[in-house]
Structure 1
């Protein structure tokens, strides 16, 4: 197996192992309120919206429109409109649209721990503001301290008076009505202070609730306390309910893309980080200069025979047999000089030279003498010879060399 394949397999196994470990780790909750339809954390509204959409008989839907847009949208059908957020900030146009919608017979429920001055002046009430601290909530819950009591005192004919228990950090805000038309639906503590009011307006109704954190996933999953939420929602009667996110923070209104969902889940987020890190690591290692392809080098062909044939053809075409014998003689003389230290070019030493050649080769001295003395006129005298003579001289010189 190649090294890069093994590297990829090891990285894949490592990612799967890390993903499995992250999936088995305990979930870490985020206690920051978002009221988002896509948030499954305690103070999101994913479970809240899902439960209401299957529980309310007349229907439950989600919108991102403002009250002005909702007021312009439909002037005939009646419905209930729900807004749940931490700090509800309404403009004069919003307040005017709320009053018009309620006057037609619609019911509006505004759930917030604080309301701005223009709405308070219009409905003649005051609201207290309290800052929510997730750290204080976790510390209070860990200490197992006593919870606050909320009393349902709405229409006793429909629902009897009942007590509900919540952590103080979830219901610390309250309302103070200054006019008689306000109907108290729920209150908390001793002495009692209202936390839910109902104002009749025209043919409809405006309901104010100061416990927005209960209108979340935590609120509907908090055991028997979910009954409190449904009692408040029952004030909408048999109308279809629309929850608008038009007054939430812009980040909470953004629909979660698949990539955003990956980032919201801790195991998937770490898997994505590790994948990106692996890709960068792979790019760093593969960015090095690669070795160029080594060319195939074939074994050199032996051209000696071809060269010999070429030279032979040239000599054959020129008919210069004496020159060919001359070159062969030079080679022959060099071989004798190197092998047996005999210089046949020294004519004065012929007898000694012929005798030594005969001694080394085992040939007849007269035969050797006759060959060399007959070749010399051809070499030095420039005589012309026939093909047969050329072959004879060359064969004899080859025979002497072979016997050395």
Structure 2
């Protein structure tokens, strides 16, 4: 019992040390964009949502409803709807509900690098698609590569013109051909900076001239407006913590400052939705949460105290007697009663020949090698080679010829074989 107690204490101490080491080890970052409210990795939105929830005066909430559901939910009060994802795909019904909400005075901000053909054809714009590579992002983050510049050009009466610097892979998508309908440009990018970094000998003025593509613009629609932004990776935990660039995000969000903001995840793909499971509800309520904790602790204690081995009394089993000597005497008595002395010598000779074969590496049953075998046995035992040769030639007729023996001759042959084996 004492040994098992020390074993349990040792295992517990080992687990505590491993837990402490694992807790203090640096966390490995995952650079895959999820835009999930529960993801605390660089390109999740857990920190982003937390900051907006605590800083927006009119409120910030999360939802999993589509545009159609939001449009039918409240037709009296206006809200601001925010969607952030790498790629958006809207159906015809989604676009109709979106436009209906904007028509009534709601403000809708769509942040993505791809908006789908249905919406682009309706609002008359195109957006250049960009592929995000986590490997390239880690390379940019670990190097001193030059960043791209995004210029704030909207609301100059409220905000001054300012330049924000981001890694190129975070802002490589931009808008084109959006001039046919009324718009207000909010931010633009200088393409010549990135081109000069890779091709310093080229005249960028001849290539792009003074063309600065839009990174964010506003499309008025009815009493409301639709805000389109092409940099979704900036609306993440990493974007919020990237130096002073959070100012850029809040300038964009200020377009919806007079309305409560709802971020919906209905169009996000490949991540968990915001629907709560029964277990998450239990964890959100303090009494239920403590009930789960106490249940787990009770189960753990039950496992520890019932882990002791329960065993019935071990019966006393007497040690088996060694009856080898009795068996030997019995066999010897049988041979003696039958007067089969030659057979007993034959069995002794078989054992004797096998012992010489193993210890001296000679085969006395092979007659052609007698001289060599007798010499090796004499060298090994220190006995006279002639005595050994005479004995083996004398015993062979008994083994192979079937000659009968008296008890005295049997004893003499066996004693001689024992003598040779004792000298090996």
Specify the TM-score bucket, using the shorter chain as the normaliser.
0.5 to 0.7
For residues 178 and 144 of structure 1, what CA distance do their matches in structure 2 show?
37
For residues 140 and 175 of structure 2, what CA distance do their matches in structure 1 show?
24
| Structure 1 gaps, min length 5 | 261-278, 297-404
Aligned-residue offset at 1:294? 4.0
Aligned-residue offset at 1:235? 0.7
User: How far does the alpha carbon of each residue in 1:333-383 deviate from its partner, in whole angstroms, 9 at most, with x for none?
Assistant: xxxxxxxxxxxxxxxxxxxxxxxxxxxxxxxxxxxxxxxxxxxxxxxxxxx
User: How far does the alpha carbon of each residue in 1:49-103 deviate from its partner, in whole angstroms, 9 at most, with x for none?
Assistant: 1111111111111111111110110001011000000101111111111001100
For residues 171 and 252 of structure 1, what CA distance do their matches in structure 2 show?
26
User: How far does the alpha carbon of each residue in 1:294-330 deviate from its partner, in whole angstroms, 9 at most, with x for none?
Assistant: 479xxxxxxxxxxxxxxxxxxxxxxxxxxxxxxxxxx
Aligned-residue offset at 1:7? 2.2
Q: Is 1:224–2:244 an aligned residue pair?
A: yes
Aligned residue number for residue 203 of structure 1: 223
Contact 2:36 2:271 in 1 (8 A): no
Aligned residue number for residue 355 of structure 1: none
SS in 1 for 2:271: helix
Aligned residue number for residue 233 of structure 2: 213
User: How far does the alpha carbon of each residue in 1:176-232 deviate from its partner, in whole angstroms, 9 at most, with x for none?
Assistant: 114141221111123411110111001000010000011111111112110000000
Once structures 1 and 2 are overlaid, which stretch shifts more, 111-120 or 4-13? 4-13
SS in 1 for 2:151: strand
SS in 2 for 1:115: coil
Aligned-residue offset at 1:134? 1.2
Aligned-residue offset at 1:257? 7.5
Q: Is 1:51–2:71 an aligned residue pair?
A: no
Task: Please give the TM-score of this superposition, normalised by the length of structure 2.
Answer: 0.61
For residues 220 and 258 of structure 1, what CA distance do their matches in structure 2 show?
31
For residues 41 and 276 of structure 2, what CA distance do their matches in structure 1 show?
14
Contact 2:124 2:181 in 1 (8 A): no
Aligned-residue offset at 1:256? 8.1
Contact 1:38 1:255 in 2 (8 A): no
Aligned residue number for residue 88 of structure 1: 88
| Structure 2 gaps, min length 5 | 192-210, 281-299, 317-424
From the superposition, tell whether residues 129 and 257 of structure 1 become closer, same or farther in structure 2 (CA, over 3 Å): same
For residues 228 and 148 of structure 2, what CA distance do their matches in structure 1 show?
20
Aligned-residue offset at 1:127? 0.8
SS in 2 for 1:137: helix
For residues 137 and 256 of structure 1, what CA distance do their matches in structure 2 show?
32
Count of aligned pairs between the two proteins: 274
Aligned residue number for residue 183 of structure 1: 184
Contact 1:38 1:256 in 2 (8 A): no
Aligned-residue offset at 1:16? 0.6
Runs of 4+ in 1 over 6 A off after TM superposition: 255-260
Aligned residue number for residue 132 of structure 1: 132
Aligned-residue offset at 1:27? 1.7
Aligned residue number for residue 42 of structure 2: 42
SS in 1 for 2:53: helix
For residues 80 and 86 of structure 2, what CA distance do their matches in structure 1 show?
20
Aligned-residue offset at 1:6? 2.3
Aligned residue number for residue 27 of structure 1: 27
For residues 159 and 101 of structure 2, what CA distance do their matches in structure 1 show?
27
Contact 1:112 1:210 in 2 (8 A): yes
SS in 1 for 2:272: helix
TM alignment of 1:342-381, pairs within 5 A: none
Aligned-residue offset at 1:291? 5.3
Q: Supply the RMSD in Å over aligned alpha carbons.
A: 2.7
Aligned residue number for residue 116 of structure 2: 116
For residues 220 and 41 of structure 1, what CA distance do their matches in structure 2 show?
12
For residues 276 and 112 of structure 2, what CA distance do their matches in structure 1 show?
24
Aligned-residue offset at 1:258? 11
Aligned residue number for residue 268 of structure 2: 248
SS in 1 for 2:245: helix
Task: Please give the TM-score of this superposition, normalised by the length of structure 1.
Answer: 0.64
SS in 2 for 1:224: coil
Aligned residue number for residue 305 of structure 1: none
Aligned-residue offset at 1:158? 1.2
